[in-house]
Structures are given as C-alpha cells and as structure tokens.
C-alpha cells in the first residue's frame, strides 16, 4: 500500500460516484485498488474484486463497528462483476503515515498502539458476528490456492479474544491534529480473534513505515509486554496468508 506519487487516470465509475465533485487519489493498494478523496467530504474506494477481502464485507463490518467505535460512515457500495466500490464520509483526521507523522514517529507509534487498545476495548466480542480466527484465515487462504505451512497449523493458546481490526497496519489508524488516535479505516477483515493477531501486525508494520526500533514502543503503548512467541506466530501467519 502506498500514497500515489503520479497523476492517475480516473475510471468512469469513480467519476460517476463523485457526482461532479473534484477527485484526488490518496491511496493505492497492492491489488490495484485506488482510494480517491472528493472535494465535498467523501472517499471513493474502487478496484478489482478481491477474493481475500471484499468491499461489500467491509461495508457490513463498518456499519456494525460504527455503533461502538469511530469508523467511516458508509454512503454507498457495490460491484459490477469485475470491480467493486465503497463510498464513505470523510473523517477529520489524517493517516498515521501522513508526512507530518512520518516525521514524528514517536507520536504516531504511541497513538497507533493506544488506538488499537481502544478499539479492542470498545468492540463487544459477544455481539460480533464476524471471525478472524486462525481457522477462518487459513480456510480463506486455501480457497485462494495458498498452502498454509504445517508449522502454522498449531496456533498458540488464545491470550484474549477481542474483535480484531484484521489489518491493523499503521496507515489504517487516523490521528487528530494533536496526534491522538481518532478513528480506524479498512475494516474488511474485522472479526473475533486473539488480540496478538492485531498487535503482531501493527507492531511489525512500524518498521515498514517508520524504520526499525519502534515495534516494542507500539506494544508498550497498547499496554502489554511483548509476547515473543505469539508475535512470531501471528507475523508468520500474516505473511503466509
């Protein structure tokens, strides 16, 4: 995932969804999907259908999570058989990888760790209809033709079930102007799982975005001590699936 650095062509469907508003590309994902910001306070995500996580599933999850935590409000979603789209209302914050926060990793990393803990504490496990357990993730991978290594078949005992974000990489936390956690985005995989599944990915992603040395700082901000065995397992599972 990256911030686009060149001008990109605007698909016809995106222009249609923008309804005359100006469009600025703000995010490019690995599957070729692009998120556009309109000049009237919306975001339009558009891209090829994804067998791993669909925008339709993201819309359903955001609608559920929005009753308990701050996430984007869904305005529209759909697909045409080859591509899908999701339109949401803009929130006032900036991604934790906006240039100002890349230049201030201590503030950003602390906010992401605190924000992840806040999300886990806010979302009710007992009411959540979605799963992001090891078995569900492994089955999803197999449907996509991915062979999960035998070493990952035996997961560590559950530390604490929470409603996981499902893609807790640091760009998916929004910060306010003071550098406090504001909201979360990209919730297409949200579901019940061990909290270390999220912590492992969030902390690992600090190296991709801020450089080495920030992983334990995020875990400390979350409020736990590093569990090296669970961190290693869930990072390997992320890479494998």
Same domain, 107 and 161: yes
Which residue in the block uniquely carries the two structure tokens 């449907």? 143
> In terms of residue numbers, what domain contains 51?
12-89
Q: Which of 167, 176, 177, 198 is catalytic?
A: 167
Phi-psi region of 217 (alpha: psi -120 to 50; beta: other; left: phi over 0): alpha
Residue 29, annotated ligand binder? no
Same domain, 176 and 145: yes
Question: How many CB atoms are closer than 10 A to CB 53?
Answer: 18
Same domain, 113 and 227: yes
Same domain, 144 and 48: no
Same domain, 58 and 106: no
C-alpha to C-alpha distance for 15 and 61, rounded to whole angstroms? 26
Same domain, 109 and 194: yes
**pLDDT for residue 8:** 80
**pLDDT for residue 3:** 64
Backbone angles phi, psi at 77, to 5 degrees: -155, 160
Same domain, 84 and 126: no
Residue 186, annotated ligand binder? yes
Which residue in the block uniquely carries the two structure tokens 């990888």? 97
C-alpha to C-alpha distance for 198 and 220, rounded to whole angstroms? 14
C-alpha to C-alpha distance for 87 and 74, rounded to whole angstroms? 6
Question: Does the pTM of the predicted model rise above 0.85?
Answer: yes
Q: pLDDT tens across 56-82, in order?
A: 999 999 999 999 999 999 999 999 989
Domain count, the chain: 2
List the one residue out of 208, 191, 204 whose CA is nearest residue 231. Answer: 204
C-alpha to C-alpha distance for 214 and 75, rounded to whole angstroms? 36
Domain boundary among 89, 116, 131: 89
Q: By percentage, how much of the chain surpasses pLDDT 90?
A: 90
Provide the β-strand partners of residue 194: 161
List the one residue out of 94, 86, 78 whose CA is nearest residue 62. Answer: 86
In a domain, 4, yes or no: no
Same domain, 192 and 135: yes
Its sign, for the CA torsion 171, 172, 175, 180, is negative
Q: pLDDT tens across 83-126, in order?
A: 999 999 999 999 999 999 999 999 999 999 999 999 999 999 99
Kindly report the average pLDDT of the chain as a whole number. 94
Catalytic residue at 167? Answer: yes
Same domain, 136 and 43: no
| CATH code for the domain in which residue 99 is found | 3.90.1200.10
């Amino acid at each position: 995932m990256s911030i686009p650095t060149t001008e990109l062509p605007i698909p016809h469907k995106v222009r249609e969804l923008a309804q005359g508003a100006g469009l600025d590309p703000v995010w490019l994902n690995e599957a070729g999907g692009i998120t556009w910001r309109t000049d009237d306070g919306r975001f339009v995500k558009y891209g090829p259908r994804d067998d791993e996580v669909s925008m339709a599933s993201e819309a359903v999850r955001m609608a559920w999570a929005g009753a308990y935590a701050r996430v984007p409000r869904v305005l529209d979603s759909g697909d045409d058989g080859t591509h899908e789209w999701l339109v949401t209302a803009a929130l006032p914050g900036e991604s934790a990888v906006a240039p100002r926060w890349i230049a201030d990793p201590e503030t950003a990393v602390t906010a992401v760790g605190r924000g992840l803990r806040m999300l886990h504490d806010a979302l009710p496990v007992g009411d959540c209809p979605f799963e992001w357990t090891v078995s569900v993730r492994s089955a999803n991978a197999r449907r996509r033709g991915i062979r999960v290594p035998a070493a990952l078949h035996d997961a560590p005992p559950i530390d604490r079930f929470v409603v996981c974000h499902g893609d807790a990489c640091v760009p998916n936390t929004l910060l306010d102007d003071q550098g406090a956690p504001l909201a979360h985005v990209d919730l297409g995989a949200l579901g019940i799982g061990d909290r270390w599944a999220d912590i492992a990915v969030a902390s690992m992603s600090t190296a991709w975005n801020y450089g080495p040395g920030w992983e334990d700082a995020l875990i400390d901000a979350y409020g736990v001590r590093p569990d090296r065995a669970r961190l290693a397992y869930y990072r390997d599972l992320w890479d494998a699936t």
